């Protein structure tokens, strides 16, 4: 059976990493072979591209260049890491995937979902996560977390109206794909958020077991 592909999405500083770590532990304890990875990145070539995209000095990078670089990193990551792991039956948890490109480059940079989806066709080969957790927190809290954590990268430094467009992009994706995208209020207590995520994963595993 093909492995399970889970993604986490949402604004920066939304508490994704903690929940990814906890879900990894939960799945591993239940005998799943889990691979945790991230975008942009997850393998050597894609990590190099990540460095290029997020470099704060590249103020002149155009939206199209940025979108193509994310897609290029994804192409390498899918072919080298994600697809082989899924074929080997592993559970893959990925911190961001195509939805981030749709929200950030499609909505945030105003390229539109269709253009960004087209750019990514060769990168994903149609690979879609089975479940996506959209971890939402309000923009202010997100900003506070990002600025309190480290020096913000090029995208994190974007103005509030860009971040708002990104959030609305994620809203629109959640409206379009309610079966796949589970909206999680990540501003709550870690344990409460965790319980909700585990509930969804448990239900998904049961559906898979029963061939639904």
Q: Where along the sequence are the contacts to ligand TMP (CB under 6 A)?
A: 12, 38-40, 70, 96, 100-101, 104-105, 155-156
Question: Which residue's Cβ has the minimum distance to ligand TMP?
Answer: 104
According to DSSP, residue 4 is labeled P
71 vs 86 by CB, closer to ligand TMP: 71
Sequence-distant (6+) residues with CB within 8 A of 165 are 107, 108, 110
Residue with tokens 């990493």: 17
**What is the closest distance, in whole angstroms, from the C-beta atom of residue 188 to ligand TMP in the complex?**
20
Taking the complex as a whole, the smallest distance from the CB of residue 76 to ligand TMP amounts, in Å, to: 13
Q: Are strands 91-95 and 34-38 parallel, antiparallel or unpaired?
A: parallel
**How many helices and strands, by DSSP H and E, does the chain display?**
10, 5
Looking at the Cβ atoms of 32 and 104, the one nearer to ligand TMP is 104
Q: How far is the CB of 208 from ligand TMP (least distance, A)?
A: 26
> Closer CB to ligand TMP, residue 39 or residue 130?
39
- Rounded to a whole number of angstroms, the minimum distance from the CB of residue 112 to ligand TMP is 14
Phi, psi of 32 (to 5 degrees): -80, 145
Q: What angle do CA 116, 120, 126 make, to 5 degrees?
A: 125
Beta carbon nearer to ligand TMP, 96 or 165: 96
């Amino acid at each position: 059976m093909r492995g399970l592909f889970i993604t986490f999405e949402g604004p920066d500083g939304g508490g994704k990493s903690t929940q990814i770590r906890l879900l990894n532990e939960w799945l591993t304890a239940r005998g799943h072979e889990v691979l945790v990875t991230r975008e942009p990145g997850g393998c050597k070539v894609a990590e190099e591209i990540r460095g290029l995209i997020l470099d704060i000095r590249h103020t002149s990078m155009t939206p199209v260049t940025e979108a193509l670089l994310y897609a290029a990193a994804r192409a390498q990551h899918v072919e080298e890491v994600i697809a082989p792991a899924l074929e080997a039956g592993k559970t893959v948890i990925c911190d961001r995937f195509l939805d981030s490109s749709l929200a950030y480059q499609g909505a945030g940079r105003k390229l539109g979902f269709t253009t960004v989806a087209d750019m990514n066709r060769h990168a994903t080969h149609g690979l879609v996560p089975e479940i996506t957790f959209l971890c939402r927190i309000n923009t202010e809290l997100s900003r506070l977390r990002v600025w309190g954590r480290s020096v913000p990268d090029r995208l994190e430094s974007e103005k509030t109206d860009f971040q708002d467009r990104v959030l609305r992009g994620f809203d629109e994706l959640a409206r379009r794909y309610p079966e796949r995208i589970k909206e999680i209020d990540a501003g709550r207590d870690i344990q409460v958020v965790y319980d909700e995520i585990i509930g969804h994963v448990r239900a998904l595993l049961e559906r898979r077991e029963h061939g639904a």
